[in-house]
Every structure is written in C-alpha cells, then in structure tokens.
Amino acid sequence: MKDAIGRLARRIAPRTMTNLETISRWDSEYEDHGPRIVVYERELRELRREVDAMRREQRRVVELYDAVFEHARRTGASADGSDAVAGRGPDESGRGA
C-alpha cells in the first residue's frame, strides 16, 4: 500500500516527491548537527555584539573629530598651524616655518 501511494504521488507531483526525498536524506545526514548549529548561533550573536560595539566606538570617534574641527573653525586655527585671523604663520613673519 505504501509503495502504491508513493508511485501515485510520483505520477501526480514528481517534483514535490523529489524534493521530499531530498529533504528526507538531508534530515538523516544532518541529524547530529543540532548542537553544532547551536554553537554557531551563539558565536554569531557574540560577533554581532562585537560589531555593534565597534560601530558605537566609530560613531564616538566621528563625533570627536567633528567637535575638534568645529572648535578649530570657531577659533580660526588652520591645519598648518597658522593663525587665519591675524594672517601670520607660526614664526609671526607671515611666511610660515
């Protein structure tokens, strides 16, 4: 009876039966991988936490850079150390070092 139902199912829905047989093989092949999957899920959660922490640190660094450059802009300091307001360089001659 079981064989007759199997043959009938293969005639009616051959692709579905092929998929079911494939899944059945996978189940038997990977039945002992459950604990390994749990370990992988834990590692993945830990890695996600680390990535989130790194993103938060990166945001802090960007905020600090923004604050430094905003302070430099407000005080008139330039990247080469010259005073943009007075127009003089570090050696006060206006030519730079």
Three-state secondary-structure class, residue 77: strand
Confidence of residue 56 (pLDDT cuts 50, 70, 90): very high
Q: Is residue 87 part of a domain?
A: no
Domain count along the chain: 1
Asked if the structure places residue 84 within a domain, the reply is no
82 occurs within a structural domain: no
Distance of CA 67 to the CA centre of its chain: 26
Residue 50 structural domain? 2-75
Averaged pLDDT for residues 20-38 = 72
Tally: H helices and E strands in the chain: 3, 0
pTM of the model: 0.44
6 domain-assigned: yes
88, 89, 94, 97: CA torsion to nearest 10: 170
How confident is the model over 32-54, as a mean pLDDT? Answer: 88
Determine, yes or no, domain membership for 27. yes
Chain-centroid distance, C-alpha 57: 14
